[in-house]
A and B are shown apart, each in its own frame.
Chain A
Amino acid sequence: MREWVGLLARLATGAVWIGAGIAKLGDSYQSVQAVRAYELLPGGLVEPVGYLLPVLEVVVGAALVAGLLTRGAAVLSALLSVAFVVGISSAWARGLEIDCGCFGGGGYDPGAAAHYPWEIARDTALLLASLFLVRWPRTRLALDPVLFRVPTPVG
């Protein structure tokens, strides 16, 4: 039963990350602008993070959907979720009105503060699903058991 729940967690979080990443993959400039709008990172990191984030999201998402290196992918997924929760909470606390840039877009967004609670809730759900997979990485219909054979039991 738990392995089916795990499958669900994998597919749901994986799909979200893939969607989020693909939305930003084609527009490097916009991705960087979205990161800059948070006013959280030192200047030298804004561009590298802007370039890396969509790529990482797609790779982590794909690994989760495929059930490949599930625990590791889930750890990265959890870290990404925490980063977004921290980022959006920080923007909210400082009174910034920005589009989180989670699915493309990003930058100033009037009335954005109304979206923050929903976005934080969504990212918290992603975090919880990821932590579930870190704790119970064995799931149904995954690539892991196909590629990494379970060790021969003793006796």
Chain B
Amino acid sequence: MTKKNSPAARAERAAAALREQQRQEARRRNTMVGAVVGILLVVVVGGFLWMRGSDSSGDIDAPAAGSDRGLAIGDPDAPHQVIIYEDFLCPFCGQLEDATRDGLAEAAAAGDAYVEYRPFVLLDRFGDYSERATNAFAVVLDASGPEVAKQFHDLLFSNQPAEDADPFPSDDELVEWAVEAGATEADVRPGIEGLEQQEWVEAATDAATDAGVQGTPTVLLDGEAFGGDASSVEDLADSLLDAVQ
């Protein structure tokens, strides 16, 4: 018969007490881990919400298509308005243009969309090509009218240099492409070489910045920023064409 205070009973009670202490410590530790993980989760979720909230790229406050800051094609009363802010040196804009040039032109011709291209200077850190190309565009628009300007715009993109091109296309080449687009050389050469539309370029760039445009291409469909959930520029192009056709 085991007495209450025999060595065996005491040892058993001691072992039980130790196990209980270990259980309590394990509980405390787990609670502590849980609390720390919980706090870190709150920080991560809070940070995520803050990052999402501080993305203002979707809040573009831009004038409707048909402004004097760009080139519009199609019928102003078409059911869809597309505005594309772009930089002539921006490779993603070049990709977008390649993928949508024909589709948007068709949609415009069919009366499905009113499309306005708003080139401005975003990429001036690579040199002056962006400024010269945008100036040339404005010169051609002013001297030769919107149809020639549209052809010239398309040529600028299909002949787009790389961002690290050395040298960038010269003023002579810009004039060549303008002539290819249908302009009369004498009408455009002085303006292109003399950067005569620099004010237009600066005003267009300021307008884009004021509207909240942060990068290129920035596409607006019916006044709302479009393409935030695109997986790539190609995807953006496909979605845009789907939306207007």
User: Which A residues fall within an 8 A CB radius of B?
Assistant: 25, 28-33, 36, 39, 41-44, 46-48, 50-52, 54-56, 58-59, 63, 68-69, 72, 107-108, 110-111, 147-149, 151-152, 154
Contact = CB atoms under 8 A, between A and B. Distances in A.
B173 interface: no
B164 A29 contact: no
Contact of A59 (B21, B33, B40, B228): B40
Contact of A29 (B40, B47, B57): B57
A41 B235 CA distance: 11
Contacts of A39: 231-232, 234
A148 B33 contact: yes
A58 B92 CA distance: 30
Interface string B40-55: 1001100110011011
Given A51-B48, A108-B91, A110-B164, 13 more contacts: A36-B230, A42-B231, A46-B230, A47-B228, A51-B52, A54-B51, A68-B36, A69-B36, A107-B92, A108-B90, A149-B28, A152-B18, A154-B22
A67 B106 CA distance: 61
Nearest to B49: A51
Contacts of B162: 110
Given A29-B56, A51-B55, A46 B33 contact: no
14 contacts: A25-B51, A28-B51, A29-B56, A29-B214, A32-B55, A43-B229, A43-B235, A47-B228, A47-B229, A52-B48, A59-B43, A59-B47, A149-B28, A154-B22
Contacts, number: 99
Name the prevailing secondary structure of the B interface residues.
helix
A29 to B, nearest CB: 4
A150 to B, nearest CB: 9
The SS class assigned to the A binding surface is helix
B40 A63 contact: yes
Nearest to B21: A152
Contacts of A51: 48, 51-52, 55
B26 interface: yes
Nearest to B165: A110
Interchain residue pairs A-B with the least CB separation, the first 3: A55-B47, A28-B55, A51-B51
B29 A149 contact: yes
A155 to B, nearest CB: 8
Contacts of B235: 43
B163 interface: yes
B102 interface: no
A28 B43 CA distance: 17
B66 to A, nearest CB: 27
Contact of A110 (B48, B163, B233): B163
B8 interface: no
A55 to B, nearest CB: 3
B44 A151 contact: no
A28 B52 contact: yes
Contact of A154 (B18, B36, B43, B230): B18
A151 B162 CA distance: 62
